[in-house]
Amino acid sequence: MNISRLSINIGILMILLGGISYVASGAASFTALIPAFFGIAFGGLGMLGKRSESMRKHAMHAALLLAILGLGGSFGGLMALFGMIGGESPERLNAVIAQAVMAVLCIFFLVAGVRSFIEARKARESGSAA
């Protein structure tokens, strides 16, 4: 798996999410663009990782840190979505959905990134053992 390419793709999805959220809020809430800002950072880190082999490890570690921060900021939306399933009614449905989607994207990237790092370490160890 090319984790740099995944970072770019997650970035694109988050930029779209931020743009759609902003339009859906009637351009009333600047905070609806937060996923887009995260998306720009994910995309930039992914491009840095693709461009420079020597920077890939550092860029992808930074992208994983960004995913952790994004998850921390959007986890409440995911919990509110689960609350909706239980019958609660959120005050701002668009915000809950956007935060939940951002949380899921961050979780997906974290899992994929950790798996990629484990595979890279195994490949490095098996290469040095030979």
Q: Which domain holds residue 93?
A: 3-129
pLDDT of the residue at 123: 86
Task: Label residues 11-48 b or e (16+ Cβ within 10 Å = b).
Answer: bebbbebbebbbebbeeeeeebbbbbebbebbbbbbbb
Under 8 Å between Cβ of 15 and 39: yes
Query: How many distinct structural domains can be found in the chain?
Result: 1
pLDDT of the residue at 89: 82
Under 8 Å between Cβ of 41 and 67: no
pLDDT tens, residue order, the chain (130 aa) = 689 999 999 999 999 999 999 999 888 888 999 999 999 999 999 999 999 888 999 999 999 999 999 999 999 988 988 888 888 888 888 888 999 999 999 999 999 999 999 998 888 888 765 5
